[in-house]
Amino acid sequence: MPLVDNNKNIMISSSPLVVENLSFRYRDRRGAAIHDISFEANPGEILLIAGASGCGKTTLVRSINGLIPRSYKGEMSGRVLVFGEETTSWKLSQISQKIGTVLQDPERQILGTKVLNEVAFGLENLTVPREEILERVDESLAFLNISHLRERETFTLSGGEKQKVALAGVLAMRPSVLLLDEPLASLDPASAQDTLDTVRFLADQGMTVLMVEHRVEDVLRINPERVMFMSEGQIRYLGELSGLSKVVNYREVKLPAEDIIERAKQDPAPATLSILPGAADRSHETLVKFEDVAFGYESGLDVLHGINLEIKRGDVIAVLGPNGAGKTTFVKHAIGLLKPKAGRVLVDGRDTKEASVAQIASTLGYVFQSPSHMLFAPTVHDELAFGPKNLHHPSEKIEQEVKESLTIVNLSDKEQDPPLALSFGQQKRVSIAAILAMQSRILVMDEPTAGQDYQNYMNFMNSIVQMPSFDAILFITHDVDLAVIYANRVLMVNDGRLVADGKPHEVLHDFEQLKANRLVPTSLLDINLKRYAETGRFMRAEALAHFQSL
């Protein structure tokens, strides 16, 4: 049976989706999140929605799928029409049959303990016959090439695998309109390409797709019919893709490196042409050591196999690899959240099996992949102050740490806001600031740029890698460009093994190795490799635009 039911609604003459003069203000926030939004989406169209974190993109999605005003309360005006019908009186179950949504954070969407149950959940609530449920579940899993996950426990999945399972559950419902809120955020580059190809196929079959995405350069490959650029809760541009680069600031939206270089040539050269990562002290003292580390969540099924490496003072390490490769499991051993089944991990010479997580936290701070795993306090200020208080920092120092950390992540105006009322991207920055405020010697971040617009993540990464308080920085990322710009060392992990460890230009020049590890060369990597003999280092596109003038 088809994933897109062409006989169900596509043939109705009314547009699948019309938004008219839509405005909304959250009950616990001061200003409107979106105001006076109007547009129409067509059958078979991919509409890319871009804009800075917190500009109203997710609020727009919630208004279309009915979570506003049913789950998120506030003041709403305007209306949403689906195939000509206003959805105000519809139940969420009725909306979900027409509009499918994949959320930014899959942790908030996955309820089932097993993948099979999770993908079947929506169909069960619609009382679809069991035989048809199983048929649709298997169809969706096969369509996304994740049939091998069918019997897995959902808690054992990686963030990227959870994202795919969430999409499978939505596709099994066969909606006419698909809302994707940052669908690429947790995916390795090859999986992101697969997902984009899937989206293009669904649209070509008649589905209407609205895709909120910061990774604009990646989405360009599937030629979305139109792009909407939002700023401060309003539509600033709505039209063909070719007009986007003319109306947006190249510092705000990540465009192909060639476009950025051409645009940046017209502007003054940046103060520094490259980021020199790492602490000033290059003594190469060993801070963390893995000795033949093996681990498995289930007996007889190892996730890590014989990991040997040292993290040294001055390292800025990017950890790359496919979804489910064991990257997060590896990092959780460094902070003591997991203990090796075999081998040992030493932090400052001490075996993590002999130290509590709280003891390790003073040395090593960890930003979780999902902010929902970290955030709990009533205000952003309280969230950031919690860690330093538990580490017994003086009260006057805590206030300084809170304010400095908020400045770094560009959230100084959110100090008294509830963290969970913020957008996903803002929540992610709060979770990063919470660890920055602790002043740990080693900073570890799992997908720090997930849900972040280009300008915000470049600004806070620039600040973080130059902070003298960190002896070492390690970040897990699927963004190859993040490794290109900021890392002085790259680890590549696949199938629980360390398959590469070296300087960025050494590890990333082998495109066959990248492909084998589900990584995709980017336009920025390609340009840096071509110019490496000239520059002697990897640089961001804005810096490359002015290098020849030196």
- Residues 255, 217: Cα–Cα separation, whole Å: 5
- The two tokens of residue 347 are 């932090």
Average pLDDT over residues 341-366: 92
Helix residue spans in 287-422 (DSSP H): 327-334, 357-361, 380-390, 395-408
Which tens digits make up the pLDDT trace of 248-306?
Answer: 888 888 888 998 999 899 888 776 656 555 444 556 799 999 999 999 987 667 899 99
Residue with tokens 């616990």: 28
- Residues 250, 142: Cα–Cα separation, whole Å: 38
> Which backbone phi and psi does 440 adopt, to 5 degrees?
-65, 155
Which segments within 83-188 are labelled E, that is strand?
A: 85-86, 99-102, 177-181
Helix (H, G, I), strand (E, B) or coil at 306: strand
Please name each of the domains of the chain with its CATH number.
17-248 (3.40.50.300), 286-547 (3.40.50.300)
- The two tokens of residue 435 are 């660890």
Which tens digits make up the pLDDT trace of 496-528?
Answer: 999 999 999 999 999 999 999 999 999 999 999
Average pLDDT over residues 80-105: 91
pTM: 0.82
Average pLDDT over residues 526-545: 93
Average pLDDT over residues 137-154: 94
pLDDT for residue 10: 38
Buried b (16+ CB within 10 A) or exposed e, 399-410: eebbebbbebbb
pLDDT for residue 274: 60
Contact criterion met (CB below 8 Å) for 418 and 378: yes
- Residues 163, 195: Cα–Cα separation, whole Å: 10
Average pLDDT over residues 321-333: 92
Distance of CA 162 to the CA centre of its chain: 13
